[in-house]
Amino acid sequence: MRTKLPAPILVLLPPDWRRSLQDADSIDWHRAAVISGLVQTILALAAYIFWYYYAAGHWARQAIHASLMAHPDLGADTGITGSLTFVIISLHPLTWILWYLSIEGILRTLNARANFETAGTLPLRLVDRAMRVAKYGEWSAQHRVKDEVTRGQGNWDLKISSCRPKQNWKYPLTIRYQGEFFQVHGEEQAAAANERPYVYLLRHLPSNEIIRGLENYDPEEAFAEENPPGFFATVYGEVRKKFAK
């Protein structure tokens, strides 16, 4: 996809959404995240300042005035009134949102400067995870990566590293991959932190053995849908199509 949107806006998208862009590899996401984070912080702080002065001069002042009228014995001075104003405004949900956006912008900028992963903004990440749960029944993105296929020699001819266990991959199951026939001969367990912890070792099917339990293999089977997509999954698919055009 050739997009006309600037990178600092696209970097707000979750990583999976960004990978669907045709020119994703040509974009410096870390630089875009730094710019995006700084702009987000500045805008959020400016909006908070405007919101604070507006609230202090209107509904917050009116709320404090009404409270003092109802309790004249309090005798609140200017200092207490100012503190009450800050507290009342701080309890408003819009204040929390502006505070969060400011902090998120700072953290995204620092992460990008440290060359950490450039995650998207939290609201869009939550939408992405909600779609993932509706579509795959899983929350974490690491469970949905493409299998890694490695060809070798010696004890194995094909090594397949997967994000999901393949329960039925036991000897002497035959696997057909790219027109060749392999036989499952072993299984290894990668490090727990590895995004593909399930490793299977296959060998070419000997010419004197018959095919047993033939199964076609696709490295992208982790993305296959086992059930019809629900409402949220359908919406997510339409959004992905929109960015893929």
Instruction: Please name which of 139, 145, 113, 111 lies closest in space to residue 125, comparing C-alpha atoms.
Output: 139
Average pLDDT score over residue span 153-180: 85
Beta strands 180-189; 148-151: pairing state: unpaired
Measure CA of the first residue to CA of the last residue in the chain; give whole Å: 6
Q: Are residues 151 and 81 in the same domain?
A: no
Read off the pLDDT of residues 75-96 as tens digits, 9 standing for 90 and up: 555 556 667 778 888 888 999 9
Separation of alpha carbons 13 and 189, rounded Å: 33
pLDDT-derived band at 103 (thresholds 50, 70, 90) equals very high
83 domain-assigned: yes
| Under 8 Å between Cβ of 18 and 11 | yes
Report whether pLDDT(231) > 60: no
Instruction: Please name which of 135, 129, 153, 145 lies closest in space to residue 228, comparing C-alpha atoms.
Output: 135
Separation of alpha carbons 194 and 210, rounded Å: 35
pLDDT-derived band at 190 (thresholds 50, 70, 90) equals low
Name residue 176's beta-bridge partners: 181, 216
16 domain-assigned: yes
Task: Please tell me which residue, 59 or 32, carries the higher pLDDT value.
Answer: 32
> Number of folded domains in the chain?
2
Separation of alpha carbons 187 and 165, rounded Å: 10
Q: Are residues 109 and 39 in the same domain?
A: yes
Phi, psi of 230 (to 5 degrees): -85, -170
pLDDT-derived band at 148 (thresholds 50, 70, 90) equals confident
142 domain-assigned: no
Read off the pLDDT of residues 192-224 as tens digits, 9 standing for 90 and up: 556 778 889 999 888 888 887 888 898 876 555
242 domain-assigned: no
pLDDT for the residue numbered 119: 80
pLDDT-derived band at 27 (thresholds 50, 70, 90) equals confident
133 domain-assigned: no
Q: Are residues 173 and 78 in the same domain?
A: no
Q: Are residues 12 and 50 in the same domain?
A: yes
Q: In which residue are the tokens 């026939």 written?
A: 181
Helix axes 29-57, 59-70, angle to 10 degrees: 40
Average pLDDT score over residue span 14-35: 79
Instruction: Please name which of 18, 82, 19 lies closest in space to residue 52, comparing C-alpha atoms.
Output: 82
- Please report, as a single letter, which amino acid is at residue 143: H
Separation of alpha carbons 58 and 51, rounded Å: 10
pTM of the model: 0.53
Specify the range with the lowest mean pLDDT, choosing from 8-12, 50-54, 105-109, 192-196. 192-196
Separation of alpha carbons 127 and 109, rounded Å: 22
pLDDT for the residue numbered 194: 63
Q: Are residues 33 and 105 in the same domain?
A: yes
Q: Are residues 26 and 117 in the same domain?
A: yes
Q: Are residues 165 and 71 in the same domain?
A: no
Q: Count Cα neighbours of 174 within 13 Å in the Cβ-side half-sphere.
A: 14
Structure tokens at 127: 């939408």
Q: In which residue are the tokens 């960004």 written?
A: 18
List the Cα angle 20/23/28 in 5-degree steps.
105
Q: Are residues 81 and 152 in the same domain?
A: no
Report whether pLDDT(150) > 80: yes
Q: Are residues 21 and 117 in the same domain?
A: yes
In whole numbers, what is the pLDDT of the chain averaged over residues? Answer: 77
**Structural domain for 60, as ranges:** 7-121
116 domain-assigned: yes
Phi, psi of 12 (to 5 degrees): -70, -20
Q: Are residues 107 and 28 in the same domain?
A: yes
Phi, psi of 156 (to 5 degrees): -150, 150
241 domain-assigned: no
1 domain-assigned: no
Q: Are residues 90 and 192 in the same domain?
A: no
- Please report, as a single letter, which amino acid is at residue 212: R
